Amino acid sequence: MTDTPHIVLIEARFYEDISDQLAAGAIAAIEAAGGTVHRIAVPGILEIPATLQFAIEGKGDPETNRMFDGGIVLGCAIKGETDHYEHVCTESLRGTQDVALAHAFPVGNGILTCPTRALAEDRADVARKDFGGKAAIACLRLISIRSELGVEP
């Protein structure tokens, strides 16, 4: 890693207003730390793990040709009337963790799994709980830990 961490930010756009808040918090935290961000939008949280794998195994940022030092995953699932919610939440979270561990790749997880829209909005809001910013801080800390322990990207 260089002194300036370069982060891939993968955001599920199913709930656009919530995704916008999560992304704003994450980007602000990364920029405050002196890092840079490449954003990738996906339709929903189920597409996050595959996209994360593509980002890790690919040739890096297509705009700068720079490899990614870490990733942030953002999105939201809100419970509905069927069990689809449980499956989507479990698979997106498990898949993200599996990819991160398989590649020793630092990932800050800002995927919200909420029973109501109000709870999701509260957690995403930069002025309230700022889970996007918290996911960015987690990613930066994991990048630091990986470096401290001598794990090569």
Give the three-class secondary structure for 73: strand
**% of the chain residues with pLDDT over 70:** 99
Task: Report if residue 128 sits inside a domain.
Answer: yes
Terminal CA-CA length for the chain: 8
How far are the Cα atoms of 50, 79, 96, 115 from residue 118, in angstroms, in the given order? Answer: 29, 12, 25, 9
Distance of alpha carbon 120 from alpha carbon 125, whole angstroms: 9
- Look up the CATH number of the domain holding residue 82: 3.40.50.960
Range of the domain at 141: 6-148
What pTM was computed for the model?
A: 0.95
Instruction: For residue range 29-72, list pLDDT tens digits in order.
Output: 999 999 999 999 999 999 999 999 999 999 999 999 999 999 99
Q: Minimal CA–CA distance to 51: which of 4, 79, 92?
A: 92
Q: Which portions of the chain are predicted below pLDDT 70?
A: 1-2
Catalytic site residues?
Answer: 84
Q: What is the mean pLDDT of the chain?
A: 96
Task: Report if residue 153 sits inside a domain.
Answer: no
Q: How many domains does the chain have?
A: 1
